[in-house]
């Protein structure tokens, strides 16, 4: 479709291993040289490794197509997941022989005789195993038997193993140590560099172009190279799709915008709006919190209705997010509770009903029933008792131990509070989160409110706990 539009005689970026478009980077040249030397010099084993799509099979086929079949008989195994017996049967079939017996050693001996005949006729034999990383360990270990088929000076069977990088890990296994020692030649094909990738594109286009005009904009070429990461197969796919899209847009040369669209579609680099990354939720939450703090501290904050908040929950939030706030906001945060409505004055204990006028004291006891502890009355002061309520408990007829401890306001702080134990929580975690501290006195207080719990240190997920309000005696520990 795009050949006529761009003036091309043939599709330049087919993903099939076409030797006509063979491009040799430095590592490809080394690998090809290793294959030629290992086979023609009868070195026995040759290993070539490289990532998927780097051109291992292409350089092998380019060599085999240039070899005289009268001088080299090649046997290719493309399904490496085969047993050693199955491998022998394939070799027998290539030599038009029948596999008569299940005796492994007898079959190898007969194969030895066949290879000697090939050697005497001046013909070399090469066994090519592609995707060698898929070959079972047992089959690989038995390849030593085939490697031992030799004359006094030369190997009769050349074995070329081509695999991905994980094949190197397979060869390092303990049970294959003898095989690894026989590997005379082992080369690795590397990914193309940026300069090599650019030369690769131009090399293929120059093979089929009928003119000298550029096919891709130079910035589009840079984008193709970056997206391919030096893998020729990926580069072929991207270039083919870019040419097809370029025809649709009627572009000469193909633009960067078109290449960007192609790479996004094929490699999934386009950013979608299906959701945010988890870490972005933190920044969203911090942004909202900072906005609320600014509103609260701004002049319009006094017009905003401020619902009461549980002090423990407020302290927890400020403690967790204070480190993320700018210093100028931290400086304006009041030490007192700015978000809780001022607590009403404690209600004084109800005054006792006026006592009936006492009978006249029996002489000789003229002292008044109560003496002030703050100031000494003059001796000539009016002995008639005052009807005003005194702040001194003893004046009101109450003993200090009869006055109840001033309670904590339970309407504004949300206590008592019933919670459910969450996974991973213990009593210390709960106390620190709700009260801001944890000690034995607090645990005893919680235990008194939860008599059904035998041991607070053994609470389980889902247990219900009733958390009481703090008495004045424990308020001093809050926030410590």
Q: What is the pLDDT of residues 418-446, one digit of tens each?
A: 888 888 788 888 888 888 788 888 888 98
Tokens of 146: 């085939």
Of 189, 216, 231, the residue that ends a domain is 189
Residues 129, 78 share a domain: yes
> pLDDT digits over 306-330, tens only?
555 555 555 665 565 555 555 655 6
Q: How far apart are CA 13 and CA 232, in angstroms?
A: 9
Q: Name 353's Cβ contacts closer than 8 Å, sequence gap at least 6.
A: none
Give the pLDDT mean for 407-428: 72
Assign residue 479 the CATH number of its domain: 3.10.350.10
Look at residue 334 and tell me if it is in a domain.
Answer: no
Residues 322, 249 share a domain: no
Q: How far apart are CA 426 and CA 431, in angstroms?
A: 9
Residues 470, 431 share a domain: yes
Residues 167, 37 share a domain: yes
DSSP 459: -
pLDDT for residue 264 is more than 50: yes
- Closest by CA to 57, choosing from 30, 83, 38, 76, is 76
Segment holding 244, helix H or strand E: helix 232-249
Give the pLDDT mean for 105-119: 92
Its domain, for residue 218, covers 204-267
Q: How far apart are CA 155 and CA 152, in angstroms?
A: 9
- Closest by CA to 221, choosing from 190, 251, 199, 247, is 199
- Closest by CA to 197, choosing from 228, 238, 239, 243, is 228
Residues 211, 176 share a domain: no
Q: How far apart are CA 169 and CA 132, in angstroms?
A: 12
Residues 134, 44 share a domain: yes
Look at residue 468 and tell me if it is in a domain.
Answer: yes
For residue 47, CA distances in Å to 76, 145, 155, 230, 472 come to 15, 17, 16, 22, 81
Q: How far apart are CA 179 and CA 298, in angstroms?
A: 78
Q: Is 470 exposed, middle or buried (0-12, 13-18, 19+ CB in 10 A)?
A: buried
Among left, alpha and beta (phi > 0; psi -120 to 50; other), residue 44 is left
Residue length of the chain: 480
pLDDT score for 410: 42
Assign residue 58 the CATH number of its domain: 3.40.50.300
> pLDDT digits over 267-291, tens only?
875 444 444 455 556 667 777 877 7
pLDDT for residue 380 is more than 70: no
In which residue are the tokens 């005009």 written? Answer: 213
> pLDDT digits over 185-242, tens only?
999 999 999 999 999 999 999 999 999 999 999 999 999 999 999 999 999 999 999 9
The count of domains in the chain is: 3
Give the pLDDT mean for 356-370: 49
Residues 104, 48 share a domain: yes
Could you give phi then psi for residue 126, rounded to 5 degrees? -120, 130
Residues 253, 145 share a domain: no
pLDDT for residue 387 is more than 60: no
Give the pLDDT mean for 77-85: 93
Other C-beta atoms lying within 10 Å of the C-beta of residue 386: 10
Q: Are 474 and 442 in contact (CB under 8 A)?
A: yes
pLDDT score for 136: 96
Residues 221, 260 share a domain: yes
This model's pTM is above 0.75: no
* 35 vs 292, higher pLDDT: 35
Look at residue 387 and tell me if it is in a domain.
Answer: no
Q: Are 181 and 25 in contact (CB under 8 A)?
A: no
Look at residue 440 and tell me if it is in a domain.
Answer: yes
- Closest by CA to 282, choosing from 330, 326, 324, 333, is 324
DSSP 272: P
DSSP 14: -
Look at residue 282 and tell me if it is in a domain.
Answer: no
Look at residue 467 and tell me if it is in a domain.
Answer: yes
Confidence of residue 477 (pLDDT cuts 50, 70, 90): confident
Residues 129, 243 share a domain: no
pLDDT score for 103: 87
Of 267, 289, 321, the residue that ends a domain is 267
Write the DSSP string, 349-393. PPPPPPPPPPPPPPTT--S-S---SSSPPPTTS--SPP-SPPSST
Give the pLDDT mean for 364-378: 44
Q: Name 336's Cβ contacts closer than 8 Å, sequence gap at least 6.
A: none
Look at residue 170 and tell me if it is in a domain.
Answer: yes
Q: How far apart are CA 38 and CA 29, in angstroms?
A: 14
Residues 82, 148 share a domain: yes
Residues 209, 163 share a domain: no
- Closest by CA to 447, choosing from 428, 476, 468, is 468
Look at residue 314 and tell me if it is in a domain.
Answer: yes
């Amino acid at each position: 479709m795009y050949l006529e539009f761009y003036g091309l005689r043939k599709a330049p970026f087919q993903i099939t291993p076409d030797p006509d478009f063979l491009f040799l980077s430095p590592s490809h040249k080394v690998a090809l040289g290793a294959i030629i030397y290992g086979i023609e010099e009868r070195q026995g084993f040759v290993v070539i490794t490289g990532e998927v799509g780097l051109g291992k099979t292409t350089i092998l086929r380019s060599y085999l197509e240039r070899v005289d079949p009268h001088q080299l008989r090649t046997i290719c195994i493309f399904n490496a997941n085969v047993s050693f017996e199955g491998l022998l049967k394939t070799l027998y079939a290539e030599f038009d022989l029948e596999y008569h017996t299940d005796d492994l050693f007898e079959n190898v001996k007969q194969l030895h005789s066949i290879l000697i005949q090939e050697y005497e006729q001046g013909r070399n034999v090469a066994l090519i195993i592609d995707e060698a990383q898929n070959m079972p360990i047992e089959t690989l270990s038995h390849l030593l038997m085939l490697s031992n088929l030799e004359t006094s000076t030369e190997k009769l069977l050349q074995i070329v193993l081509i695999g991905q990088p994980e094949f190197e890990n397979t060869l390092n296994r303990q049970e294959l140590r003898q095989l690894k020692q026989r590997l005379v030649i082992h080369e690795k094909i590397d990914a193309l560099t940026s300069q090599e990738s650019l030369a690769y594109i131009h090399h293929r286009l120059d093979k089929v172009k009928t003119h000298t005009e550029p096919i891709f904009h130079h910035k589009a070429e840079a984008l193709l190279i970056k997206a391919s990461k030096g893998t020729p197969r990926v580069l072929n796919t991207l270039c083919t799709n870019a040419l097809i899209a370029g025809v649709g847009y009627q572009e000469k040369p193909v633009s960067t915008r078109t290449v960007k669209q192609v790479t996004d579609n094929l490699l999934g680099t386009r950013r979608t709006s299906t959701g945010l990354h988890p870490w972005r939720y933190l920044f969203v939450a911090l942004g909202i919190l900072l906005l609320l703090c600014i509103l609260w501290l701004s002049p319009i904050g006094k017009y905003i209705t401020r619902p009461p908040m549980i002090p423990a929950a407020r302290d927890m939030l400020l403690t967790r997010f204070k480190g993320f706030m700018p210093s100028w906001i931290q400086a304006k945060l009041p030490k007192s509770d700015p978000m809780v409505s001022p607590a009403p004055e404690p209600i004084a204990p109800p005054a006792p009903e006026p006592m009936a006028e006492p009978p006249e004291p029996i002489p000789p006891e003229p002292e008044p029933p109560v003496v002030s502890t703050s100031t000494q009355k003059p001796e000539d002061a009016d002995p008639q008792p005052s009807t005003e309520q005194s702040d001194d408990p003893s004046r009101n007829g109450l003993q200090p131990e009869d006055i109840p401890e001033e309670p904590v306001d339970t309407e504004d702080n949300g206590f008592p509070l019933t919670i459910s134990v969450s996974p991973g929580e213990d009593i210390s975690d709960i106390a620190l989160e709700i009260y801001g501290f944890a000690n034995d006195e607090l645990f005893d207080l919680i235990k008194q409110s939860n008599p059904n719990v035998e041991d607070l240190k053994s609470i389980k997920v889902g247990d219900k706990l009733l958390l009481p309000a703090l008495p004045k005696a424990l308020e001093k520990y809050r926030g410590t």
